[in-house]
Chain A
């Protein structure tokens, strides 16, 4: 089955700096890669996703890149703010384009701390 590895487990950056979180996946059939942000005691919130027919996607201060050959994808947050502090999870699934549901396999999470 799919295995998703995520690094680093913790990341501390100063406000205004950039943060990068990296994930690798094992199943070459995976074709949908979402990123979730989870604040303490809250539900995971989808912040951005990318599909395997796209190499990069950007939404304001966040961007995700995908390298299918190397089977890795990354989350980039620029101009970090204190409210970006949370745990971020990457995930992978095979659901895109199949018309059938498919589970998400999650990475182990990265705790991002943005300091003033």
Chain B
């Protein structure tokens, strides 16, 4: 079946502008996660959703970052007033939970803030 998809695949924005990143999880996956990966670095946790509630937002770097999810489907990650240090690949993952705990990643959105 279809995997996790993300859009856009690439986004170049000017410093100070807002951006919205989208994630479509695998159908039926209850849990959805957002991670950030800076160039040549590991993955940093940002936030996860179980259904449409977010029990753990501890990884969001600042109040410029927010995320929401509609039911057990699409999620959007919004970054307001972007800064150059926000440049990274933003990865989304989903997990079935009831059938297993594996997290399957999307292709990511490469965000460049100029």
Contacts and interface: CB of A to CB of B under 8 A. Distances in A.
Interface in A71-116: 89, 91, 93, 95-96, 99-109
B106 A89 contact: no
B31 interface: yes
Given A34-B102, A44-B91, A103 B42 contact: no
Dominant secondary structure of chain A at its interface with chain B: loop
Contact of A108 (B41, B45, B107): B41
Contacts, number: 61
Dominant secondary structure of chain B at its interface with chain A: strand
Nearest to A36: B105
Given A44-B91, A103-B33, A34 B103 contact: yes
A17 B84 CA distance: 42
Interface of B: 30-31, 33, 35, 41-45, 48-50, 55-56, 58-59, 91, 95, 97, 101-108
Interface of A: 1, 32, 34, 36, 42-46, 49, 89, 91, 93, 95-96, 99-109
